[in-house]
């Protein structure tokens, strides 16, 4: 039985994977879940204030997870999955690769996970840039940080946290088991989210790695696909 839904935002609740506009049908679907007593957990690589703002105006009641699950806000209180931070490592990487990346404006609001946006002229070279970042970490003996790519930004995240660890923490706050959570994502940074929940699902335009994990792949992309998944939950055809 599905007692909660955990969802990524960018590429999952948006109109597509390459813009920031929320899909109206996805917002309506979230509100339907909430009306049926199924709390929605937002989990994103965005800074926590952004995700909390979205939660408030969309109308979700579950824990809110920012910074790829490293920081959580629930019922007026903030929780940290770890106290480690990637701040200094992000500064090192930026100095080495400033011709390729930009220090994200969101870093002013981050505490654990730090993001580097890929410059537009190098947007098609994300694989090369990620490999260079991993090379820098290896050369400097930095073993405590992992590199994630959301499709929008490159994230430097302490290995002691992430969407899996964040969701484990959030499930305890909410009082539901991981087996009772349906998770939805679209990008590579959502792999651990889908691997952690009892009901992994994804949208039609998700990365192939997620489709291999998912128990259900929507026939529609992004926000429309999320809405399709919710319709199946509420009609009893999923979970």
- Which residues have a catalytic role annotated? 8
Is the distance from CB of 117 to CB of 104 less than 8 angstroms? yes
**How do 114-118 and 154-158 pair as beta strands?**
antiparallel
The rounded distance, in Å, linking the Cα atoms of 45 and 20 is 13
Cα 198 versus chain centre, distance: 17
Residues 6+ apart with CB under 8 A from 118: 100, 101, 102, 125, 126, 129, 153, 154
């Amino acid at each position: 039985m599905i007692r909660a839904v955990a969802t990524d935002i960018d590429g999952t609740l948006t109109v597509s994977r390459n813009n920031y506009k929320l899909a109206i049908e996805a917002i309506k679907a979230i509100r339907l879940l909430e009306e049926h007593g199924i709390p929605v957990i937002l989990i994103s690589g965005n800074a926590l204030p952004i995700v909390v703002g979205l939660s408030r105006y969309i109308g979700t009641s579950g824990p809110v997870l920012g910074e790829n699950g490293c920081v959580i806000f629930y019922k007026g209180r903030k929780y940290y999955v770890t106290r480690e931070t990637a701040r200094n490592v992000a500064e090192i990487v930026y100095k080495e690769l400033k011709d390729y990346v930009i220090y994200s404006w969101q870093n002013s609001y981050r505490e654990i996970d730090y993001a580097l946006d890929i410059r537009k002229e190098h947007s098609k070279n994300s694989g090369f840039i990620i490999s260079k970042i991993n090379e820098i970490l290896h050369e400097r003996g930095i073993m405590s940080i992992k590199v994630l790519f959301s499709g929008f930004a490159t994230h430097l995240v302490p290995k002691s946290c992430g969407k899996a660890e964040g969701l484990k923490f959030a499930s305890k706050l909410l009082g539901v088991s991981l087996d009772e959570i349906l998770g939805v994502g679209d990008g590579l940074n959502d792999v651990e989210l889908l691997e952690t929940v009892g009901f992994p699902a994804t949208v039609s335009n998700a990365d192939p790695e997620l489709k291999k994990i998912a128990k259900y792949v929507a026939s529609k992309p992004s926000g429309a696909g999320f809405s399709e998944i919710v319709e199946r939950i509420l009609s009893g055809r999923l979970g």
